[in-house]
A = this chain, B = another copy of it.
Amino acid sequence: MARTQGSHSDITGPRVRAAALRLFAQHGYAAVSMRQIAREVGVQVGALYNYTPDKQALLFSLLKGHMDDLLEEWQAEQRPEAPRARLEAFVRFHIRFNLARPEAIFISYMELRNLTPENFAVIEALRKRYEGALEEILRDGQADGAFSVPDTRLASYALIAMLTGVNTWYRAGGRLSIPEVADIYWDMVRKAVSADMSGNAPR
């Protein structure tokens, strides 16, 4: 029996995306079948093709939507002028944003290689845009003396990796709240990019 109560496009569409997101994050894109997704939604597999042309487009749509959200929210964020305050805003935003959607973050890092080359290029460009924002902060701070980093490009990679790593261990309800985690990470980031005045100069 088709079209049982509430089984409309507006309902089923988001549910398909939600089920795919959850399952891709848990088992990986290649390991999840269209039939599993259909079962999770509570429909037959054929019905999925009302909402995506194919499995690949479903993955791409999830990743693209996520990257759009990321860039949009960072644009909407309060971004101070001074590099140091701006870097702090970035650190806190990144941790808060990532911890709010762990599954999307997970597949964004794990499933890139399952995108077709064209789709991969799109996502990669968006990622570069976001990470470029961090490097720009570091360059500005380096220029005006607020920071002292040997290589802004490498430093941006290092900081992104460090911040994104939070998602691998953080569990809601643990001993630290998200703001507390952000405090601790900001402390380390702040020192890592500072001029070194501790007397522990490199060899």
Which residues of chain A have a CB within 8 Å of any CB of chain B?
Answer: 26-28, 30-31, 84, 110, 113-114, 149-151, 154-155, 157-162, 164-166, 168-169, 176, 181, 183-200, 202
Q: How far is the CA of A84 from the CA of B26 in the complex (A)?
A: 39
- A160/B165 contact (C-beta < 8 A), A188-B192, A194-B198, A200-B194 known: yes
CA distance A159 to B163 in the complex (A): 10
- Tell me the number of copies of this protein: 2
In the docked arrangement, what's the CA distance between A191 and B202, Å?
Answer: 10
Q: By the criterion CB–CB under 8 Å, are A114 and B28 in contact?
A: yes
Closest 9 CB pairs of A and B: A161-B165, A30-B30, A192-B192, A30-B31, A162-B162, A194-B198, A188-B192, A197-B197, A197-B198
Given the interface pairs A30-B30, A161-B165, A198-B194, the reply to whether A184 lies near B154 with Cβ below 8 Å is yes
- In the complex where A150-B184, A185-B158 touch, is A196 in contact with B191 (Cβ < 8 A)? yes
